[in-house]
Amino acid sequence: TDSFHGTLFSLIFHKQFSCLDTKQNHHDTRKKGLLESVGATAAYQNIEDPLKICSTLNYEEIDCRMDEIRKSAAEFLEISDE
């Protein structure tokens, strides 16, 4: 994928994917930041090698980090889980 939303949905649905660094706009910064925050930087690929798909993503770890981010966001917004 080369989009932020494609990256996010790939993570949510546990896809093995590559996130292309297009070096074109601020979306690349958002994609890279998202991947760093969940420990999935292995999926970030250089545009010169777009067919290389990352198959080493540990979704158990990624899910734990995403849960922490969700919890933090809910606390920030003062939303309870109930």
Question: Which residues are CB-neighbours of 40 under 8 A, at least 6 positions away?
Answer: 11, 54, 57, 62
Mean of pLDDT over the chain:
83
The total number of structural domains that make up the chain: 1
pLDDT at position 65 is 96
What is the C-alpha to C-alpha distance for residues 55 and 68, in angstroms, rounded to an integer? Answer: 23
Whether residue 82 is contained in a domain is answered as: no
Model confidence pLDDT, tens digit, residues 37-65: 999 988 888 766 656 666 678 999 999 99
CA dihedral 23, 29, 34, 37 (to 10 degrees): 120
Whether residue 63 is contained in a domain is answered as: yes
Whether residue 44 is contained in a domain is answered as: yes
Share of the chain above pLDDT 70, in %: 79
Mean pLDDT of 75-80: 76
What range defines the domain where residue 26 resides? 4-77
